[in-house]
Amino acid sequence: KNQVEQSPQSLIILEGKNCTLQCNYTVSPFSNLRWYKQDTGRGPVSLTIMTFSENTKSNGRYTATLDADTKQSSLHITASQLSDSASYICVVSGGGADGLTFGKGTHLIIQP
């Protein structure tokens, strides 16, 4: 069964600190892995998309890594800001009519 597991479920850090979110998946076949940011009351917005051959990809203060061998990904946020408070969803392309398997997300709270 295709699954995407994210950890931690929730995280609270102080503004300016760094943090890393984890994503493990068992999706086959694998096409790509995406990280989305979902602000409260809004739809998910894409941060990064990585294919099998990509190990790391950055988008500003967000850096995603992918290890296709161990089927793990991480999202590192540098110098966190209050606006980073959101849910971060890991999505793996593979299986399903839409080809996507969604994680439950990590709820990140940045405190001043």
User: Which residues make up the interface to other proteins (CB under 8 A)?
Assistant: 4, 32, 34, 36, 41-46, 49, 89, 93, 96-100, 102-105
Pick 27 or 79: Cβ nearer other proteins: 27
Q: Rounded to the nearest whole angstrom, what is the least distance from the CB of residue 42 to other proteins in the complex? A: 5
Q: Whose CA is closest to 86, among 49, 58, 25, 44?
A: 44
Terminal-to-terminal C-alpha distance of the chain: 41
Residue closer to other proteins by CB (options 73, 93) is 93
Report CA-CA distances (Å) from 34 to 12, 47, 66, 100.
23, 7, 10, 10
- The C-alpha atoms of residue 67 and residue 32 are separated, in whole angstroms, by 12
Closest separation in Å from C-beta 64 to other proteins: 14
Give the nearer residue to other proteins in terms of CB position, either 75 or 103: 103
Minimum CB–partner distance for residue 8 and other proteins (Å): 14
